[in-house]
Structure 1
Amino acid sequence: MNDERPPGTVLLRNGSVYSPADPFATAMVTDGATVAWIGSEGAADGFADSVDEVVDLDGALVTPAFTDAHVHTTSTGLALTGLDLGTATGLADALARVAAHAAARPDDQVLLGHGWDETRWPERRPPSRAELDAACAGRPLYLSRTDVHSALASTALAHVARRLDGYHDDAPLTRDAHHAVRRAALAAVSPAQRADAQRAALRHAASQGIATLHECAGPDISSQDDLTGLLALAAAEPGPRVFGYWAQAVSRPADLDAIRDLGALGAAGDLFVDGSLGSHTACLSGPYADADHTGTAYLTAERIADHVTVCTEGGVQAGFHAIGDAAVAAVLDGVRRAAARVGVERVRAARHRVEHAEMLDAAAIAGFAELGLVASVQPAFDAAWGGDAGMYADRLGADRARGLNPYAALLKAGVPLALGSDSPVTPLDPWGTVRAAAFHRTPEHRISVRAAFTAHTRGGWRAIRRDDAGTLVPGAPADYAVWGTGDLVVQVPDERVANWSTDPRSGTPGLPDLTPGEPLPRALRTVVAGRVVHERPNE
């Protein structure tokens, strides 16, 4: 539950505290919104009579709270409270869920659902429009695919996109047609319904030990009212922090004023250079293995260069959505052109971001390092679609698919990583995300649990150009989570020494055992700026 009292002084003791200040710490003191002290159980006795609250951890683990570096909050909330097709077992099951949802929501102006993935169904195809019309009784219906780069719509809604690029009479809508239908669907959501969805998403994030979200908004994804409403709600009510990005290309300094007026940190996030692999819209240098084209390009290198130039000169962070290798190449080309205009050091200092950045070869990785680009990545994508028999292999062939999401090579080159979920594309599940990075389906891309955890805590703060948060040291923000977990170990990506108990002589703090099959930690308490925003009921 949320605690609305002003944060006082709190002593947490009799547990394990994950902190670089003391690798063997068992206690921590917070003073208001700030970490005040980290240390041993014996030294904690000196604080017991002078603090407002003493929390007996009873062996629990305290860590920095997670930052999810790529979220769509309203869509996440609508998926949590609405029609979830992510677990549909096939075509008939999906249509039955649509019919049941329509019957249960007779007053909704538009029916909303998310998560269908035809590659997981025995039929290997999505519903036809006629099948959808029958299931929803002819009402307006919008169903986003799991990757949110294509959608199904009933006739009552699809007509708004009939003359646009990407419209199909009896196939998923993509490109401009999808964006138009999504705007129409979300415009039918009332402000109250939208706020309820945002609260649901923020409560769920807090329950997962997440204290900070990067909202990736934009004109093709949500709306200005959605972003400003979310930022206002998050600022007014106890819960996770929200930092917003607005994905609109700029070409002159005056354009940045509109970005700032929205309260956004940057003209970044899902500023689309291409689409997604699942929807065949990621832009590739060679054709798909299961389609006779190379996907969709939305921005040229010159347009990217203009955007980065204006943002760099204006002190605003730029960023792009790029998945396919041709899209990544366009970003690197554009950022290099901008660096030639304003200087590479100014570009590096800006910490411009690339979201997803999945198809990277050695030259692309070197380019990220050269230009100081932050890779905002989603390891759960590999867990969901990687491997020799997954969707990535279907789309690209097994050989190309094995090169996706090369986290180890990125870290080795010094590229900053920030981990996220792209929720609702994959769930808000930070320990699952860390596990996915540490146990990548392609072994050479695996990173240690410690490196993945750092990328999902401190890395998210560094991605918004803040170096003073995401770790528990005196003076840092009191953003932390308390976890119920088993033994603490050190895990590395080398299968020969997959994990071992922490040797006290190493001075390396342990983290939960994330070996696949082991239960993930449960958030017992989540604290943001010293305020409790989630507390698990006693069982």
Structure 2
Amino acid sequence: MHRTSTPQPPATPAPTGTVLLRGGAVYSPADPFATAMVVDGGTVAWVGSEGAADSFADGVDSVIQLEGALVTPAFTDAHVHTTATGFALTGLDLSGAASLADALTRTAEYAAARPADRVLLGHGWDESRWPERRTPTRAELDEAVGGRPLYLTRTDVHSAAVSTALLDLVPGVRDEPGFDPQAPLTRDAHHAVRRAAYAAVTPAQRAAAQRAALLHAAEQGIGALHECAGPDISSEDDLTGLLALAAAESGPRVFGYWAQAASAPADLDRVRDLGAIGAGGDLFVDGSIGSHTACLHAPYADAPHTGVSYLDAETIARHLTLCTQAGLQAGFHAIGDAAIGAVVDGVRAAAAAVGLERVRALRHRVEHAELMTPATIAAFAEFGLVASVQPAFDAAWGGEHGMYADRLGAGRARDLNPFAAMTRAGVPLVLGSDSPVTPLDPWGAVRAAAFHRTPEHRVSARAAFNAHTRGGWRAIGRDDTGVLVPGAPADYAVWNSGDLVVQAPDERVANWSTDPRSGTPGLPDLTPGRPLPSALRTVVGGRTVFERPNG
């Protein structure tokens, strides 16, 4: 039997010397009025006031004048697909396409500019935003790329528009569940063409995409990523290559999850061999609402079915039992209410088999957890399940006239992403982006949680911020990280943030105070319409991994 292990940061050479940051604001529970911080090597050594900082000035190796800037813990994005994010950043990004015609034009221009690519890769189309309100046909795609292989993921990455030439590279795909002769592919057919498309990527192309994504994350003040990999999402080589690159080069820390259901203990040995810290992430119980593949109890409002179920409660229970016995964190992707209910049933069976406290101790995860009910919220709290959520989903598709309302009807759409109810029940929340589904934008995620489109689901900006910093570390079993206190790792970001404010504790709307007597560290004013903070510097383990020119 394996013993439980605590994930450690990737090994990198420790920096030497001491640094004093002063003349700004430091977000720290050690001192809500802190204006200075000392870093010794890779560790926070002291946090305090400007006056006390004078005693350190002559004994440090360097001094950084903050000039009013804000210092916070670096963000942790708890759900990322790094390579796909890099391709979206450097390749064909259709998220800004204003119409189907615009998307096809952009695709044709991209194909003409990339004559050597074995498979053309693109991401981000969303037919719910287009005036045509339909997806591209295969014939339209074939014409746009001149008969070349093309793989275009929908914004939720749970379906893909592909060309005939790509289908011809995947024997038997036309017989797989989810195949359609003209419409985008879902289910097993989508997984098959995705594997073929990414198999055509060279190691050099993959590494370049990963570097682009990690640099972009550092530019956003992100110091750690949870990579959600798996055989249906990327590949073993993709995960091991990413972990090796992140360990060898300066940048955000990367912690990997491998999404493959275990049926025997040896399956979990393979998870560890890959360098993953958990057997979860996007271990699909269902799909997504946008692609009509989230598994629901009642049919969609705009489709005559209830979505797709990939794992039943018995399979979930077996995976959780094996993971718990091995001391390995498990996790599942579950969005629809029926899928989340299957996870809860599986966890309950596993707890009966191995004991409730053993299940709770490992902080098993559920990714997305969107269509929750009072019963499943209570079960998450009972079993200590971590909810890895993406507030930007609500910002993008929530509201009375958003895509969620189209798919589910306005009534059910209002039930999605009930962050406040989950928090009140004691469910640990951890925030992420699911990039490239939504962008790496941590302050945007904090704003989206604090200003949820359904007011009763809002949480305070402080709670959202903590879920996007310290919460990400707690989700992997590290309770000593993600906060700026003496002894903590020196993972932090410096921000051009404007005035700092404190959100009134009993309000879920734009009710802010600048009164320092609150004794609560201030955060930037995230009221919608105001500019979000921009990172001036990102530091991981005491090493600067991003610095804005003239910042």
TM-score using structure 2 length: 0.96
* 1:87 is aligned to 2:87: no
Q: Deviations over 1:412-432 (max 9, x none)?
A: 001100000000000000000
Give CA-to-partner distance per residue, 1:4-49, whole Å, 9 cap, x none.
9934211000000000000000000001110000001011111111
Give 3-state SS (helix, strand or coil) of 1:88's partner: coil
In structure 2, the partner of 1:21 is 30
Which SS does the other structure have where 1:152 is aligned?
strand
Once residues 517 and 128 of structure 2 are traced to their aligned partners in structure 1, the CA distance between those partners, rounded to angstroms, is 49
- Select which of 375, 379, 390 maps to 1:363: 375
1:510 CA drift (Å): 0.6
1:227-376 equivalent positions in 2, closer than 5 A? 227-376=239-388
The 5 Å alignment of 1:131-210 reads: 131-159=140-168, 160=170, 161-210=173-222
Among candidates 63, 68, 72, match of residue 59 of structure 1: 68
- The alignment's C-alpha RMSD in Å is 1.3
Deviation at 1:162, TM superposition (A): 1.3
Q: Say whether residues 1:403 and 2:415 are aligned partners.
A: yes
Paired amino acid for 1:407: F
Q: How much does 1:360 deviate?
A: 0.3
**Is 1:130–2:139 an aligned residue pair?**
yes
Residue 216 (structure 1) aligned with residue 225 (structure 2): no
Offset, 1:376: 0.1
* Gaps in structure 1 of 5+ consecutive residues: none
Q: Secondary structure at the match of 2:537?
A: strand
Q: For residues 495 and 501 of structure 1, do their structure 2 counterparts lie closer, same or farther at Cα, with a shift above 3 Å needed?
A: closer
- Indicate yes or no: 2:544 matched with 1:538: no
1:69 alignment partner in structure 2: 78
- 2:42–2:542: 8 Å Cα contact kept in structure 1? yes
2:497 corresponds to 1:485: yes
CA deviations over 1:56-104 (Å, ceiling 9, x no partner): 0000000000000000000000000000000000011000000100010
Deviation readout 1:152-201 (Å, 9 max, x if unpaired) = 00000023221111111100100000000000000000000000000000
What residue identity is the alignment partner of 2:190?
H
How many Å separate the matches in 1 of 2:272 and 2:402? 41
The 8 Å contact of residues 458 and 508 in structure 2, kept in 1 or not, is answered as no
Shift of 1:251: 1.5
Letter in 2 for 1:256: L
Asked if the contact 1:208–1:429 (Cα under 8 Å) also holds between the matched residues in 2, the reply is yes
Which residue number corresponds to residue 119 of structure 2?
A: 110
1:441-466 CA distance string (max 9 Å, x none) = 00000000000000000000011111
Q: Distance in 2 between matches of 1:322 and 1:491?
A: 32
In structure 1, give the amino acid aligned to 2:60.
Answer: V
- The equivalent residue for 1:503 is 515
Letter matched to residue 176 of structure 1: D
8 Å contact kept, 1:140–1:156: yes
Give the letter aligned to residue 90 of structure 2: T
In 2, Cα distance between the equivalents of 1:523 and 1:10? Answer: 19
Match of 1:380 among 363, 378, 392: 392
Question: Which stretch has the larger CA shift, 130-139 or 488-497?
Answer: 488-497
In 2: Cα distance, 1:492 partner to 1:137 partner:
58
Contact 2:504 2:512 in 1 (8 A): no
Which position in structure 1 is the counterpart of 2:405? Answer: 393
Query: For residues 390 and 163 of structure 1, what CA distance do their matches in structure 2 show?
Result: 34
- Contact 2:460 2:508 (8 Å CA) reproduced: no
Report deviation, 1:494.
6.1
* TM-score (ref. length: structure 1): 0.98
Q: Which residue of structure 1 aligns with residue 4 of structure 2?
A: none
1:506 CA displacement? 2.0
- Determine the C-alpha separation between the residues in 2 that align with 1:196 and 1:7: 29
Q: Aligned pair count?
A: 537
8 Å contact kept, 2:80–2:436:
yes
Amino acid aligned to 2:536 = L
Shifted more, 153-162 versus 102-111: the winner is 153-162
Q: Distance in 1 between matches of 2:292 and 2:544?
A: 43
Corresponding residue number in structure 2 for 1:414: 426
Per the alignment, residue 9 of structure 2 pairs with: none
Superposition deviation, residue 485 in structure 1: 1.1
Q: CA deviation at 1:213?
A: 0.1
- The alpha carbon displacement at 1:390 in A equals 0.4
CA distance in 2 between partners of 1:458 and 1:4 (Å): 24
Taking the aligned partners of 2:103 and 2:474, their CA distance within structure 1 comes to: 41
The secondary structure found in structure 2 opposite 1:226 is helix
* Aligned match of 1:96: 105
- Aligned equivalents of 1:261, 1:4: Cα separation in 2: 23
- CA change 1:181–1:495 in 2 (3 A) is same
Provide the secondary structure at the position in 1 that maps to 2:265: coil
Does the CA contact (< 8 Å) of 2:433 and 2:439 recur in 1? yes
What secondary structure is seen at the aligned counterpart in 2 of 1:48?
helix
Identical residues among aligned pairs (%)? 79
Secondary structure at the aligned position of 1:12 is classed as strand
Residue 423 of structure 1 aligns with which residue? 435
Q: Which residue of 2 aligns with 1:446?
A: 458
CA distance in 1, matches of 2:161, 2:508: 46
Structure 1 position 253, deviation (Å): 1.3
Match for residue 43 of structure 1 among 52, 56, 79: 52
Deviation at 1:500, TM superposition (A): 2.6
Tell me how far apart the structure 2 counterparts of residues 88 and 385 of structure 1 sit (CA, whole Å): 16
CA distance in 2, matches of 1:93, 1:322: 33
SS of corresponding position for 1:162: helix
SS at match of 1:339: helix
Q: Is the 8 A contact 1:7 1:531 kept in 2?
A: no
Whether contact under 8 Å (2:14, 2:41) holds in the other structure is: no
Q: Return the offset for 1:493.
A: 8.0
Pair 1:10–1:496, CA change in 2 (3 A): closer
Q: Secondary structure at the match of 1:269?
A: coil
**Native 8 Å contact 1:408 1:446 kept in 2:** yes
1:40 & 1:399 partners in 2: Cα distance?
50
- For 1:14 and 1:301, the matched residues in 2 are separated by 55
| Alpha-carbon distance change, 496 to 64 in structure 1, aligned in 2, over 3 angstroms | closer
